[in-house]
Each structure stands twice: as structure tokens, then as C-alpha cells.
Structure 1
Amino acid sequence: MLTQNTLEALRQLKLTGMCDALEQQRAQPDTHDLAFEERLALLVDREVLHRESRRLERLLRAARLRMPACIEDIDYRHPRGLERSRMAGLASCDWTRQSLNLCITGPTGSGKTWLACALGNQACRQGLSVRYLRVPRLFEQLRIAHGDGSYARLMNQLMKTDLLILDDWGMQKVTAPQRQDLMEVIEDRHGRGSTLIASQLPTEHWHDYIGSATLADAILDRLLHGAHRLNLKGESLRKAQAQKAESVDPT
């Protein structure tokens, strides 16, 4: 009866991990031989693990990453110009904690989005907040926010995000209102958070993509100064995987 009261108290205190661990200890007679301090340590460890797992779930859900990619699954066999030492440095997420940016460029199918999501996943695993957005979707959200009065709230959310991933950069022409919104987003985040840009467009063409010389200079100065850069090369991974699948197809 005493143990049941304890379990109910743990649930009320939202110590779910400790509650589950205590129930497991009751079902495992071997743990009864442990000292009180050892059993208590197991309960605390389980609660810490439970909270870390829940936090990771929340961060990944909020990030809305396009692909379930992980750093450990990077394929270095395909000649894309990726170096293990370079990726190990990026996987540490020190650049994110220092509010530095990362630009990933390369041709279609070279794995830009996959790598961006893998780094986003890694950041979540280290307790950092992440948000993935395709640039057209970002502009659409900002346009709607201007109309429904949620612009300030959206901008505040973007500013507070540790790592903002902007995919499909340079896919469509930028209008004057979009250019101004982009400037505001980049300016708000400058020195406060990291921005990861994934683009087919080489960085030397970004000035023309943005358009207005004055705003382009301001945006790119904040984005590219001190930024890490990954320039992927080689043929499309999707094409190579499709060809490989065809070669082993028995039909």
C-alpha cells in the first residue's frame, strides 16, 4: 500500500521516469538486494533519461525536419567532397553555439537537404532549438503574418531559434517585400542564432538573386561573414541510387 501511494505521488509530481523505474524494481527481485542509495540512483538516472528523451521529442517535433537524417549515416563513399574531419567539427555544433552560419551548396541531388536535416537532428540531440523551412514557405508565412497580425510573434520565434535551416535558397525570384522581410529575419538573428542555407545556387550568384544592391550587401555581409561553407560536388545521389536499384532488379 505504501509503495502504491509513492507511485501515485510520483505521477502527481510528473516524475514519470522514476515512477516507471520503481515499478520495474518491484517486478525484479534482484534489485531488492541493492543498497538504498543504489536503488535511488537508478530511479534518478531513469528520470533524467526520460526527461532528455521527452525534450528531444519536443525539439524534433518543433524542428519539422524534412528528412529523418542522422550524422552517423553520412555516406562518404560517394565523391561529393565531404571530409570526415570537417563533418565531425560541424557535428559538434560549436558553430551553432557561437551563432555562426553554414552555407551548403551543390547541384540537384547532391544531398544538401539531407545534410541540412542531419545537422538539424544533431543540434536537437544537443538540446538546441531548430526550425526547418523552405525559403518559399518562409516568405509565405511572413506574407500571411503581415495580414493577420502575427508578424511580430513569428519574427520573435525565428529570432529565438538556435538554428534556422533555410532550404531551396535561390529557387525563385525575390520580390521587394520578400527582400525586406528577409533582411529583417537575417538582421534579427545576426549574432543571436545560426542560419543554415541550402542552395543549388553558388554563393557568388546570391547577390544577383537577392536583387537590390544595398539590401543584398547588407544581407550577405551578415550571412557570409565568418560562415562555414560546404560545396558539394559530383553526380546526383538520387540518380546513382536509382541506377544501382535497376542494376540489381531481377526483373
Structure 2
Amino acid sequence: MLAHPTHERLIALGLTGMAKAFEEQRAAPDLAALSFEERVGIMADREAAERDTKRLTARLKFAALRQDACVEDIDLRTPRGLDRALVARLAAGDWIHRHQNCLITGPCGVGKSWIACALGHKACRDGRSVFYQRVPRLFEALALARGDGRHARLLKTLSRVDLLILDDWGLAVLTANQRIDLLEILEDRQGRGSTIVTSQIPVDQWHDVIGDPTLADAILDRLVHNAHRLTLAGDSMRRLSGHRELDAQTNA
């Protein structure tokens, strides 16, 4: 069979990685010294890598992470109360396998959202499904979904992801519908998935943010009791980054 039809047949079969490897082998005469099994193995490895990349791209697109962050880039040098050992355990991801939660608190600008997105990115790389949402936007989406019949479907989607990231929790006291929605989300996810929550409000004040004492007890029982906690402090990372850029420009 001619080379060109073979390349086209591989693409038609959806084997784009093998098709690329096939063309690369045709263009590299030195690969002719390899055995048949070795050359097929190279093509199979390329196909596997291509599919892994596509799956990761799809997971990241669905996750819609707010920050382009990676755990390898987490700044452990700037003083802000980060526990290196805990960060390493969270990056490893076993807590997600155990369906545990992670609560990240601290003042504005210390990197809560960035760290949450970095952990979400790592989870995507590990083959887990992730979904990011700012809490105010999530409640808006749930309110709209309640009105047009998509409410149950959205709750089902939230219940299925391996890692749910709820960013900017506690900006306002919850309404009655928001309390019920949050309880439903956490109830559906208990023992099935992990949740990251970021907030400027300390955890011991979350009861007041929820509003209703009975529902607050139920919500926090499902969220807090098995959660890892990162309590950050210090200056705003955005302010420090701006100072560093200014110093670099001054010293240039």
C-alpha cells in the first residue's frame, strides 16, 4: 500500500497520533534500522500520548479554571503561612481519592484562588474531573436554572465531578434558596467527591454567613469535618508582585 493512503487511512480511523508518527518515520531514514516491532511501538506510544493530551485539554476546558496555575509554581518562599508538607500532600491528590475537602482562607490577595486553581489543574492532569465556579456566580446560575427547568440537571452535574472548587465563599449572607442549594450540593457529593472552598472569612465565622443555625450545622458538618485547612496570612501577592516588577524596571 502506498504511504499516502496509509496516512489518510490512519486519520480516517481517528489515529492522528499514529498518523503523525508514520509521517515522521517516513521523513527519518535512520529509523529504518529499527525493527518492525520497535517502529510500531513508537507509533502506538505517540497515539497514546496524543489521546492523553486531548483528554487533558477537554478536562481543563470543562474545569474553566480562573487562574492559569500549576502546583509546581506555588510560591513557598514568600511568608504567608503555607505548610510545605500539607501543600505536598494536597498536590499528590490522595485526599481527592479519599473524598476529603480543602478549605483555603486568608485575606484578599494572598493567593487563595491561585492555589485552588493549581490544585484543580493538578487534578485534571491526574485524570480527574474538575469544575471551578465563584460562589456568587454559582448561586446566580442555580437561580436561573430553577426558573427554566435545568435546576436538577445542574445539581446532578455538580454532584458528579471529582473536584468542585467554590471560590470567594462568604461575600454575603446566604438566602434561603442558596442555603438549600448548598446543602443539596454537599449532600450529593458527600463520600463521592471532594470540594475546595476559598474564603476571606475564617472558618469559625462561616456559621454566621450561612444564616440559618439548623442548616448551617448540616452544611458545615458535611464540609468541615474531613477537610484539610490552609490558613494564609501576610501581604497581598499582587502588591508584592507589583513591587518586584517596579524594582526590576528601576534596576534595569
What is the TM-score of this pair, normalised by structure 2? 0.97
The one-letter amino acid paired with 1:42 is I
Mapping 1:57-136, distance limit 5 Å: 57-136=57-136
Q: What is the Cα deviation at residue 18 of structure 1?
A: 0.4
- Aligned partners of 2:133 and 2:166 also within 8 Å: yes
1:200 matched to 2:188? The reply is no
Q: What is the Cα deviation at residue 97 of structure 1?
A: 1.3
1:216 matched to 2:216? The reply is yes
Name the residue aligned to 1:163. Answer: 163
The one-letter amino acid paired with 2:133 is L
Name the residue aligned to 1:188. Answer: 188
Instruction: Spell out, residue by residue over 1:36-85, the C-alpha distance to the aligned partner (whole angstroms, 9 max, x if none).
Output: 00001100000010000001100111100001001111111100111322
**What's the secondary structure of 1:66's corresponding residue?**
coil
Percent sequence identity is 55
1:51 matched to 2:35? The reply is no
The one-letter amino acid paired with 1:87 is V
Q: How many corresponding residue pairs?
A: 251
Name the residue aligned to 2:239. Answer: 239
The one-letter amino acid paired with 1:179 is R
Q: Distance in 1 between matches of 2:240 and 2:88?
A: 25
Q: Distance in 2 between matches of 1:91 and 1:220?
A: 24
Q: What is the Cα deviation at residue 241 of structure 1?
A: 1.8
Q: Distance in 2 between matches of 1:250 and 1:86?
A: 37
**What's the secondary structure of 2:69's corresponding residue?**
coil
- Aligned partners of 2:173 and 2:208 also within 8 Å: no
Q: Distance in 1 between matches of 2:202 and 2:145?
A: 30
Q: What is the Cα deviation at residue 206 of structure 1?
A: 0.4
Q: Distance in 1 between matches of 2:34 and 2:149?
A: 59
Q: Distance in 1 between matches of 2:233 and 2:99?
A: 27
Q: Distance in 1 between matches of 2:20 and 2:68?
A: 29
Q: Distance in 2 between matches of 1:202 and 1:192?
A: 26
Q: Distance in 1 between matches of 2:122 and 2:163?
A: 11
- Aligned partners of 2:91 and 2:119 also within 8 Å: yes
**Aligned residues: CA RMSD:** 1.2
The one-letter amino acid paired with 2:228 is H
Instruction: Spell out, residue by residue over 1:122-141, the C-alpha distance to the aligned partner (whole angstroms, 9 max, x if none).
Output: 00000101111000011001
Unpaired stretches in structure 1, ≥5 consecutive residues: none
**What's the secondary structure of 2:250's corresponding residue?**
coil
